[in-house]
Each structure stands twice: as structure tokens, then as C-alpha cells.
Amino acid sequence: MTMESIGLAPSTLVFIILGLTLAAFMWGRFRYDLVALAALLGSVMLGLVPTDEAFKGFGHPAVITVAAVLVISRGFERSGVVDIIANQVLKVGERLLLQLLVLVGTVVVLSGVMNNVGALALLLPVAMRLAREHNTSPSLLLMPLAFGSLLGGLTTLIGTPPNIIIATYRGNITGENFGMFSFTPVGVAVALVGLAFIVLVGWRLTPKRSGQASTEEMFDTANYLVELKVSEESKANGLTLQQLHDELEEAIPVLAVVREDNRRAGYSFHGVLREGDILLLEAGPDELKLLEDKVGLSAIAESEKDEKDSDETDSENADSQPS
């Protein structure tokens, strides 16, 4: 199949492929990477992209740099850096202006040394926790956080993919790339002005969620906090948490792992799961079905939990009896 056989101009075919790709993205029925790959293969089949250059873009410095930055972002998340930042941010108190200054300022700094989308993803749980603990409308923190991540991406070469693309293009044209901090003088100035606007004025323009449901009700997740036990026949037996995520092909964060009454946070658990381990995580009905079908993890029955609590109570009573 070629452009001549179809009878359409190359520009028309390009717009058709772009339109279909955007429609597939908006539909959300298929994975985004599969949609993008299908668009690329379609362009090759129609002769819009030369066959020998079809996958040349995967070797572009921007793609490699963004991939490396995402690896660093996951390292920050897995090493517990996010929890350290969260604990510090939560100490700012109840004043909204101070919360915004610390939260948005933190995401601006992080976006300069890592991908801005990754920095935003890392601080989203912190913002939600702040809103929940201080009974604040989430929109007053989330919208400024999003704009702060965009501002922080302006400050360094790796902060945002467009900076990398521009630097590469300049290198191809003039033979000299932009350096890591070539964007910093202008980027920092813009980021500081934007930070001041967000903290002093911007948040006042953000619409608040209206309705009868209170903030506590919006954040009520008690019904979805579950305990799953690793059995001998479970496929999760012998897997690390990372391997468990790979098997599921979906991000279901494990909050903690309980082994012989010792509880360890999910981010700090680096061993393999064993029979009898209990995973504490937040999941809905669909996620629970996925966990049971793919890795054989099932929720602990209420009778089993009651029996365990009863055994612990009897043990404590026995220890308290005088000899």
C-alpha cells in the first residue's frame, strides 16, 4: 500500500494519521504506547516514513535522557526520599500560604533535577495528605503543584523534554549544545516570579470543590484498605515487590509488608515474599480481582483475623497473670 495507490497527498495522510492517533488517545481503549507504535507502523506502510529511519527516533538524546531521568525518579521513590520530604512538608503547620510555599517550592526544585512529571507524581501523595489532615480543599494544593512542576522544568536542561530537544537542535545547527545550566538564569527568574504569583494570588483563583461531601468523606479510603496473605500456592511466593508489580502490569502500591508481627514499609522492603507474609495495600474490587487472578493473593477472611486477634489477646492475658 502506497500513497500513489490511495490517491491522497502526503500532507493529507499525515493529518489523517494524527487525527486517528489523537482520537485513540482520547478514547483510552488501548494502551498509549501501542497506539503510538501503530501510528508509526502505519506511516511506514504508507511510505510517509522511510523504512530505514522508522526507529531512528528511539536513539534520540531526548528519549534517552528522559528515560534516564525516569530511572532516577523511581530511585528517589523506592529509596524513601519521598517519605522524608513528606515528613518535612507536613511540619509546616495549618497556614495555607506556608503550605503552598513549601509544597510548590519543593516541586520547583525537584523539577530542575528530574523530569517535571516525575516530580509532580512524587509529591501528589504529599499534597493529598496535607489536604486531608488540615481539612483543605484538594484543588487549592493540586493546581498550584501542577503549575510549580512546569515552572521548575524551565530551570535546567533535563527539567523538561522540550529543553533537551532545543539543545539538540542547536547542536545540529551550530555545533554547540546548550549546557546543563544554560537555561538557569532565565528559568530561575521566571520560576521565582511564578512561585510568588502562585503563592500570593494564583491559589485564590482556583475553584474549590463544592457539594455536601466533606473533605474527610472525599478522602475516606478505609473500605479499600485490605490485607492480603501470601499462601504456599500463591504465585507471589518467592517474588520481590518489583517482580510482583511486573506480573500485575499495573501500579498497585504496597503500603507495608507484615512478617511475623514485624511490619516494614513497602518502599523499604527489598527481599522476597514468603508464605505467611501479609501485604497491606489500598485497592478496590477490580484491583483485588486482579491480584487474586494473576498472583494468587486473596484477602484475609474476617474469621481468620478475629482468630488471630483472639490469640494475641489470650497471650497478653496469660502474660499478665501472676505466677
Same domain membership, residue 120 and residue 71: yes
Same domain membership, residue 185 and residue 67: yes
**pLDDT value of residue 197:** 93
Give 200's strand partners: none
How far, rounded to the nearest angstrom, does the alpha carbon of residue 114 sit from its chain's CA centroid? Answer: 13
Closest of 180, 178, 144, 186 to residue 159, by C-alpha: 180
How many domains does the chain contain in total? Answer: 3
Same domain membership, residue 115 and residue 201: yes
With vertex at residue 178, the alpha carbon angle to CA 173 and CA 183, rounded to the nearest 5 degrees, is 130
Judge whether 287 lies within some domain.
yes
Same domain membership, residue 120 and residue 35: no
Same domain membership, residue 71 and residue 48: no
* Cβ neighbours of 130 (radius 10 Å): 24
Got the DSSP string for 164-209?
Answer: HHHHHHHHHHHS----TTTTHHHHHHHHHHHHHHHHHTGGGGSPPP
From 29, 54, 79, the end of a domain falls on 54
* Structural domain span for residue 70: 63-205
**pLDDT value of residue 20:** 92
272/252 Cα distance (integer angstroms)? 17
Beta strands 298-299 and 225-229, pairing class: antiparallel
Judge whether 226 lies within some domain.
yes
**pLDDT value of residue 49:** 85
Same domain membership, residue 293 and residue 229: yes
Same domain membership, residue 123 and residue 50: no
- Residue 246 maps to which CATH number? 3.30.70.1450
With vertex at residue 129, the alpha carbon angle to CA 126 and CA 135, rounded to the nearest 5 degrees, is 135
Judge whether 273 lies within some domain.
yes
**Share of the chain residues as helix, strand and coil, in percent rounded to the nearest 5:** 65, 5, 30
pTM over 0.75? The answer is no
Same domain membership, residue 50 and residue 97: no
Q: State phi, psi for 229 to the nearest 5 degrees.
A: -105, 140
**pLDDT value of residue 186:** 92
Same domain membership, residue 197 and residue 152: yes
**pLDDT value of residue 196:** 93
10-residue mean pLDDT series, the chain (323 residues): 64 89 87 88 86 80 71 69 70 82 89 79 78 80 89 86 84 86 91 92 76 46 68 82 75 78 76 84 74 76 47 51 51
